[in-house]
């Protein structure tokens, strides 16, 4: 009966050593793969940053060109109004008869 007890303990020891071996392998794989994952993440992050910056610059250029056109339009209208005001101030007042 002593042999049966010893035999029944062996599979549980094998399972615990087997599961700790799997955990060790997982930990080792994580250590080996971590630098590669970090490099890939850094490259992807850099590419995303460049793409976002590029799109932002395009958007700002479009918005700024719209603002520049609006400023140009306002400037022309101010000049026209200033010229009209100057003409009105230089012309003699009309006699309402």
User: Measured between alpha carbons, how far is 76 from 69 in angstroms, rounded to an integer?
Assistant: 11
Alpha carbons 35 and 33: distance in angstroms, whole number: 6
pTM: 0.47
Is residue 48 in a domain? Answer: yes
Q: Rounded to the nearest 5 degrees, what angle is found at the Cα of 22, between the Cα atoms of 19 and 24? A: 110
Which residue in 47, 67, 48, 70 sits closest to 59, CA to CA? 67
Q: How far apart are CA 19 and CA 32, in angstroms?
A: 20
81: domain range?
Answer: 41-86
The answer to the question of residue 8 being in a domain is: no
What is the tally of structural domains in the chain?
1
1 pLDDT band, cuts 50/70/90, is very low
Structural domain contains residue 22: no
Distance in angstroms (rounded) separating the CA atoms of residues 72 and 54: 27
Q: How far apart are CA 93 and CA 9, in angstroms?
A: 120
Residue 9 pLDDT exceeds 60:
no
Q: What is the mean pLDDT of the chain?
A: 83
């Amino acid at each position: 009966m002593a042999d049966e007890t010893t035999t029944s303990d062996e599979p549980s020891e094998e399972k615990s050593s087997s599961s700790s071996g799997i955990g060790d392998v997982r930990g080792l794989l994580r250590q080996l793969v971590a630098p590669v994952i970090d490099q890939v993440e850094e490259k992807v992050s850099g590419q995303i940053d460049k793409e976002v910056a590029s799109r932002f610059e395009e958007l700002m250029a479009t918005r700024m060109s719209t603002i520049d056109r609006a400023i140009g339009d306002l400037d022309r209208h101010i000049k026209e109004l200033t010229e009209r005001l100057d003409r009105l101030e230089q012309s003699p007042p009309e006699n309402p008869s």
